[in-house]
Amino acid sequence: MISRSNTRDHRRAKPRATADSLVATSINSRFRSISVAPRTVVTINSAISRLVRTLLWTLTLSTSTHALAWEATIERDALGVPHIFGETDADMAYGLAWAQSEDGWEILEETLPYYRGNAASFFGRDAAVTDYLIQWLGFWEVIDRDYDTLLKPETREYLDAFAAGFNDFAARHPERVNLDVLPVTPQDVIAAHMFRHPLFYGFEKPLTELRAETRQQEVSPAPQLPNTAITLGSNATAVAPSRSRDGSTLLMINSHQPLTGPVSWYEVHLQSGEGLNVMGGLFIGSPALGVGFNQHHGWGATVNQPDLVDVYVLEMDPEDDNRYRVDGEWLELEAFDIPIKVLLWGWLPWTVKEEGYRSIHGPVMKTDHGTYAVRYAGMDEIRQVEQWLAMSAATSFDEWREAMALQHIASFNFVYANADGDIHFVHNAMMPRRAAGWQWDQYLPGDRRDLIWDDYLTPDELPSVTNPPSGYVHSANQSPFQISAEGSNPIKSDYPVESGWPTRMTNRAVRGLELLNANTSISFDDFSAIKHDNAYSPRYRGYSYLSLVADLEPNEPEEAQALSLIRDWDLHTDTANRNAALGVCILLEEWQAERTGSALPDARETLHTCMESVRDVAGRLDPEWGSVQQHGRGQRTWPAAGGPDTLRAMYAEQLEDDDDFLTVVAGDGLYYLIEWNAEGEQTIRGTHQYGSQMTDESSPHYLDQAESFSQEMMRAPGFYPENRSATSRRYTVSSAD
């Protein structure tokens, strides 16, 4: 295999996003690309100050005792994956935080200020946009108000133990502490969930529109709804015994994320003496799995983006711009200060105060073109953790559905399968119960109380199917009404049009459905081939644009060569394919235009853009795809098949101007294929994009799975001890030490 020496870790490739105003797309991209590289803008004085504070924190912790003592055993397998056991769930949570700290403390440390709304005091003015958002949305006021009353006592104990694990690790490893963020609190964990989740379902889009120079939407006159753009990926697929070769049930868990940073997958196995035994993926700083499985069942998640954000145009008093009218009554906006402390030149702090406002609808934004209030799904919800924990604790389909019925998670599709042969899909959302007849994708008049929703559709009112006649469900960020064969889908007319259900079809959806539909006797190997399929479907939306380019008449010899390569492309992205580089580039031009709502670029202009791009990277128009697209980090990369929006999802960038290849930065990461045979016996295969160590380049587990990942080789992940690779280390961590 090819190993490169001129790459650099893509965590360091992106500068911090600039943000002079509240532009939420910058928030989203900044959050996903947070660097964990060593910080260099630290003066001697600030370094000494930080060291003193850390030592004082260590001394304070070492001379105090926790109200409760927690203890956990961590067993590291040969790949460094942590298998964590505690006598109680709280003990296990303590060990989970300790393991996360060992493998990614720097990620947690650098993201905490963003959740707290004081990132600009650490990272400068570029982070001020996030600080404004956190305070504008009032996360911490809600947490202070509801934490002790809404969360169950056992949840609070779990979070206490989880936070203590981070703090104890930091106290005993002060050399790892670079920022003055201690102590980590249980409330930080809640704030992280409150901040992350809206970004997954597209909360940034209406905020970006509001910051435009002119009003971007009309006030709703009619009930027509738009196609909702989905810009994030993920796959999850389940096959019932009726469609498998030998009566097995099959499940694919394949959520796509950035490959590094705060929302990249971390693999862990959690066991508790209280009965929990589950394995899967979560983010550093998260106390519960986002995707996973146990011996009985498993679930995968994919991003969905129905219409979950509403914007109201407030009618303001011309004599008082802090008064707004609702049902003929003048009400006063709630005004509050938003102090933002900004680090300027390494040590000089500067505090600015913005003014924030709220109405009975939600947070308010004043602009030159109007005053607007925003209301969104999951507003003021702090119990996401309880639902994730309940999903992990479930051991039957009924218990898992009871966990889903909690409705604390604002979005995400879920695909489920179990040892009993049940398969299930739900387009989960905290979907507002809206007044009928209004065009909710546009702005709403803010002077009517009947448009201020305060309730959500029940789980039974959301698009879902259980054990469809087709024998399969496939979720790849598409319309929830096309997730299986005809006659096995939710029926669109059964659900409220006001919800703005997505209608877009991805290539991963179209290609996956056609492969599943074509095979009525699917084996585990067939299922693996579907997961790793790297082709574009001729039925995919982008194919028509590719054909438009291919049908051009050449004007000169190099155009003729390029057009010949495009016309002869078999639509696959295997590593030896010499046509894929141009073809993928053209499809990307269409994909970018479609997802941003832009007009398609001129076909010949795209042809020349892609010819130039491929030449600039590879030096020729027909390079092997595996020489163009590489997977890895640091100074080692390997050829990788797949591409944007293929089932083998790979999203790559040229990280350095002089790189002669693209490095994969997002897409396939941690994924699993699971089979329960007719006798209920379970087979599990999986892989991780890099390894269990997320930040330490000197660790053997920083990159020990990358080559196998690039070769599409999966392993038994060690959920069962007999399948576990040799233990590299077993140790106990305790808050009583």
Q: pTM for the whole thing?
A: 0.89
Among residues 193, 635, 184, 241, the alpha carbon closest in space to that of 381 is found at 193
Q: Give the model confidence (pLDDT) of 265-277 as tens digits.
A: 999 999 999 999 9
pLDDT per residue over 16-64, tens digit each?
A: 222 222 223 333 343 334 433 333 333 334 444 444 444 444 444 444 4
pLDDT (average), residues 439-446 = 95
* Residue that is written with structure tokens 């056609």 in the block: 514
CATH number at residue 345: 1.10.439.10
> What angle, rounded to 10 degrees, do the helices at 89-116 and 186-200 form?
60
Angle at 181 between CA 33 and CA 29, to 5 degrees: 15
Residue 525: the pLDDT is: 98
- Which spans in 619-705 are helix H? 625-628
Q: Is residue 240 a part of any domain in this protein?
A: no
287 alpha carbon, distance to own chain's centre: 16
631 has which bridge partners? 638
Q: What is the pLDDT of residue 44?
A: 37
pLDDT per position as a tens digit, 678-688 = 999 999 999 99
Overall average pLDDT of the 389-412 stretch:
97
d(CA 118, CA 98): 25
Whether 109 contacts 295, CB under 8 Å: no
Whose tokens are 């690790």? That residue is: 169
Q: Considering 357, 376, 395, which residue would you say is the last residue of a domain?
A: 376
Q: Taking residues 152-179, what's their average pLDDT?
A: 98
Binned at pLDDT 50, 70 and 90, residue 347 comes out as low
23 within a domain of the structure (yes/no): yes
Instruction: Please check the confidence at residue 67 and state whether its pLDDT lies above 50.
Output: yes
pLDDT for position 344: 73
Question: Which among 666, 681, 693 has a CA at the least distance from the CA of 719?
Answer: 681
Q: How far apart are CA 591 and CA 517, in angstroms?
A: 25
Position with higher pLDDT, 37 vs 653: 653
Backbone angles phi, psi at 90, to 5 degrees: -65, -40
Task: Write down the pLDDT at residue 677.
Answer: 97
Token pair 């505690």 in the structure block, residue: 86
732 is a domain residue = no
Contact residues for 226 (Cβ-Cβ < 8 A; gap 6+): 441, 500
- Mean pLDDT over all residues of the chain? 88
Can you say whether the dihedral through the CA atoms of 32, 35, 41, 45 is positive or negative?
positive
pLDDT at site 5: 33
Per-residue pLDDT of 698-727, as tens digits, reads: 999 999 999 999 999 999 999 999 888 788
Weakest mean pLDDT among 26-30, 196-200, 328-332, 638-642? 26-30
426 near 463, Cβ under 8 Å? yes
Count the residues in the chain. 737
**32 domain residue, yes or no:** yes
The angle formed by the CA atoms of residues 516, 522 and 523, to the nearest 5 degrees, is: 140
Q: What pLDDT, in 10s, does the model give residues 108-148?
A: 999 999 999 999 999 998 899 899 999 999 999 999 999 99
Provide the pLDDT for residue 440: 95
Strands 82-86, 266-272: pairing is parallel
Least confident interval from 7-16, 227-236, 532-541, 675-684: 7-16
Task: Please give the pLDDT value at position 198.
Answer: 78
- Sign of the CA dihedral with 529 first, then 535, 536, and 538 last: negative
Q: What is the mean pLDDT of residues 301-313?
A: 95
What is the predicted pLDDT for the residue at 219? 62
Lowest average pLDDT, out of 23-27, 618-622, 629-633, 639-643, goes to 23-27
Could you tell me if 644 and 584 are in contact, meaning their C-beta atoms sit under 8 angstroms apart?
Answer: yes
Quick one: tokens of 380? 């003021």
Domain-ending residue, one of 619, 645, 667: 667
Cis peptide before 183 (omega within 30 of 0): yes
- Average pLDDT, integer, range 407-411: 95
Range of the domain at 642: 543-667
Considering the chain, what percentage of its residues have pLDDT values greater than 70?
87
678 part of a folded domain: no
Cβ 169 vs Cβ 97: under 8 Å: yes
494-521: pLDDT as tens digits: 999 999 999 999 999 999 999 999 999 9
Torsion, CA 561, CA 562, CA 564, CA 567, rounded to 10 = 180
Residue 606 within any structural domain of the chain: yes
- Assign residue 583 the CATH number of its domain: 1.10.1400.10
Residue with more model confidence, 19 or 598: 598
- Residue 645: pLDDT above 60? yes
Contacts of 608 (CB under 8 A, 6+ apart): none
Q: Which two tokens stand for residue 52?
A: 């003193």
Task: State mean pLDDT over 631-647.
Answer: 95
Which residues, including other chains, have CB under 8 Å from residue 573's CB and lie 6 or more apart? 534, 535, 580, 584, 625, 629, 641, 642, 643, 646, 648, 650
* DSSP string for residues in 691-706: -S-SS-TTSTTSSTTH
The encoded tokens of residue 543 equal 């194919």
The total domain count for the chain is: 2
Q: Which of 359, 376, 393 is the last residue of a domain?
A: 376
**pLDDT on residue 464:** 98
Asked whether residue 182 is domain-assigned, the answer is yes
Could you write out the DSSP letters of every residue in 4-62?
Answer: -SS---GGGTSPPPP-SS--HHHHHHHHHT---SPP----HHHHHHHHHHHHHHHHHHH
In angstroms, what is the C-alpha Rg of the chain? 26
Q: How far apart are the first and last CA of the chain?
A: 47
Contact 238, 473 (CB under 8 A): yes
Comparing C-alpha atoms, which of 229, 225, 223, 220 is closest to residue 443?
220
Q: What pLDDT is attached to residue 229?
A: 32
Using 50, 70 and 90 to split pLDDT, how confident is the model at 9?
very low
Dump pLDDT digits (tens) for 184-212.
999 999 999 999 877 777 776 767 776 66
Is the pLDDT at 220 greater than 50? The verdict is no
DSSP 525-553: HHHHHHHT--B--TTSTTHHHHHHHHTPP
574-584 residue pLDDT tens: 999 999 999 99
The residue to which tokens 């020496």 are assigned? 5
The percent of residues in the chain predicted with pLDDT above 90, rounded, is 79
Q: What is the largest CA-CA distance in the chain?
A: 79
Query: Residue 213: its pLDDT value, please?
Result: 65
In a domain, 508, yes or no: no
Q: Are 106 and 176 in contact (CB under 8 A)?
A: yes
Q: Would you say residue 221 has pLDDT above 80?
A: no
Beta bridge partners of 415: 300, 425
Structure confidence by residue, pLDDT tens digits, 450-477: 999 999 999 999 999 999 999 999 999 9
Kindly report, residue by residue over 79-105, the tens digit of the pLDDT: 999 999 999 999 999 999 999 999 999
